[in-house]
Amino acid sequence: MKLFSSFIKELKLASRGFYFYIELFMAVIILAVFLLLVPDNFNNQRTEYIYFDMPSQTSELFLQEILREDTDGKATPVKVEVDKQEKDAMLYTTTDQKIYVLTSREDVIYMADKEKKIAAVVKLDGDNTINYEYYLQGYESEKFKNLLKILHVESNETIEAAMNNQDVRPLANNFNVLSDRENMMPSVLVFNGALMGLFIIAAYIFLDRKEGVIMAYAVTPSPVWQYLLSKVGVILVTTILSSFLVVIPIMGTQPDYLLLLLLLVTTAFFSSALGLLIASFYKNVTQAFGAIYGFMLLMVLPNIAYFIPSWNPDYLKLIPTYPMLEGFKSVLLGNNDWLYVLTISSGFLLVGVILFSISNRRYKKTLLG
């Protein structure tokens, strides 16, 4: 009962303040930008890298076939940077593809493995059968795959045989099939929820410190944890509201909403508990700014890595936003992967509870500080 009235009071306070609206306002902006300005996919033209491992007269046949699709009917000599070296290549541009024909097999594999590009090696075996090695990233469209097929100048049977001979080996196994727009959603959720929550709860605490109301609370029979938890409650409300505001119009029915709710609650709980703990070490926003900023930067790193597939060092996995991103991605895809999301959620809940109880002890001791 006391907890509930504390929570209602905090909601009232928050709704009369400025921070409450930051998140919602950001959500509206993000929604507008996404719906009006960001195309479903930034660039429909797929880029791929091919090496023909065969005598040049055979590869000529392939190239002629590609040229027929080329928008200007001729190939352009270009330089491609492979492993920090400039390499010669020929560029063929079709309506939905940019095909770079490279001069070595290693370069193609490098592009596939390190740069996460779509790449293929087309090879003529000793017995004159054609062998295709595709290095797909998992996000290629059906259209592209079909196009790869029609590029083959062999008879239908050979194609079929060749297809059957395909040896598909994944280089990495978390293929995503979100569109570009959708692909940005996990980051939006992490940023608008977790990171803003951390900052905003700290701001609330400093506001109360400045007004001295924590001291007035401390001379009542109500425990400090209820005071702190009601603030966390406000963060949960704003996070859920602003997240759903963005997710529903953009993602429609695809996500698992129940799991999304669960993950939002646990991650927001975790980050607001972290915010409380950080704030407990400082007297005012100015003093805490460095620490909060530092934490936010650290938490943003996995977001950056998320958009640069080739940069994904292992230590990033230790940053809490990394599993958050993975979790949101799974939920938004509608994978229905309960076990995975429950595991991540309970992890955040557990760490959140620990951080929260440390904060509780600290606030009990440092009410006047």
Partner 1 sequence: MISVKNLYHSYNKDGKYQVKDVSFEVANGEVFGFLGPSGAGKSTALNILTGLLPLQQGEVVVGGYDLKKVSNERFNKIGMSFEQSNVYSKLTAKENLDFYRKLFDVPTLDSHTLLKLVGLEGKEHVKAGEFSKGMKHRLTFARSMINNPEMWFLDEPTTGLDPSIAADIKDIIKEKNKEGVTVFLTTHNMFIADELCDRVAFIVDGEIKLIDSPKNLKLQYGDKLVEVEYIEKGEVIKTTLSTVLPEDKRELQKIIEHHDIQTMHTKEATLEEIFIKVTGRGLV
Q: Which is nearer to partner 1, 190 or 234 (CB)?
A: 234
Binding residues for partner 1, rule: CB under 8 A, are 1-2, 5-6, 9, 12-13, 16-17, 211-213, 215-223, 365, 367-368
Q: Look at the block and give the residue holding tokens 């895809």.
A: 333
Q: Which is nearer to partner 1, 109 or 367 (CB)?
A: 367
Q: Are 241 and 24 in contact (CB under 8 A)?
A: yes
For the chain, the distance separating the N- and C-terminal CA atoms, rounded to the nearest angstrom, is 29
Min dist. Cβ of residue 221 to partner 1 (A): 5
Min dist. Cβ of residue 193 to partner 1 (A): 24
Min dist. Cβ of residue 211 to partner 1 (A): 6
Closest CA relative to residue 87, chosen from 67, 101, 69? 101
Q: Which is nearer to partner 1, 11 or 109 (CB)?
A: 11
Instruction: Measure the CA–CA gap between 191 and 197, rounded to whole angstroms.
Output: 9
Q: Which is nearer to partner 1, 191 or 225 (CB)?
A: 225
Q: Look at the block and give the residue holding tokens 């700014």.
A: 289
Min dist. Cβ of residue 195 to partner 1 (A): 25
Q: Which is nearer to partner 1, 2 or 317 (CB)?
A: 2
Closest CA relative to residue 228, chosen from 5, 2, 6, 1? 6
Query: Strand, coil or helix: what is 116?
Result: coil
Min dist. Cβ of residue 334 to partner 1 (A): 41
Q: Are 198 and 271 in contact (CB under 8 A)?
A: yes
CB atoms within 10 A of CB 78: 13
Min dist. Cβ of residue 331 to partner 1 (A): 35
Beta strands in the chain (DSSP E): 46-53, 76-82, 85-93, 97-101, 118-124, 130-135
Q: Look at the block and give the residue holding tokens 């029609």.
A: 150
Q: Which is nearer to partner 1, 16 or 84 (CB)?
A: 16
Spell out the residues 6+ positions from residue 284 whose beta carbon is closer than 8 angstroms to its own: 206, 209, 210
Min dist. Cβ of residue 217 to partner 1 (A): 7
Q: Which is nearer to partner 1, 163 or 216 (CB)?
A: 216
Q: Which is nearer to partner 1, 294 or 369 (CB)?
A: 369
Min dist. Cβ of residue 216 to partner 1 (A): 5
Query: Strand, coil or helix: what is 220?
Result: coil
Q: What is the DSSP string of 267-285?
A: HHHHHHHHHHHHHTT-SSH
Closest CA relative to residue 62, chosen from 73, 72, 51? 51
Q: Are 23 and 79 in contact (CB under 8 A)?
A: no
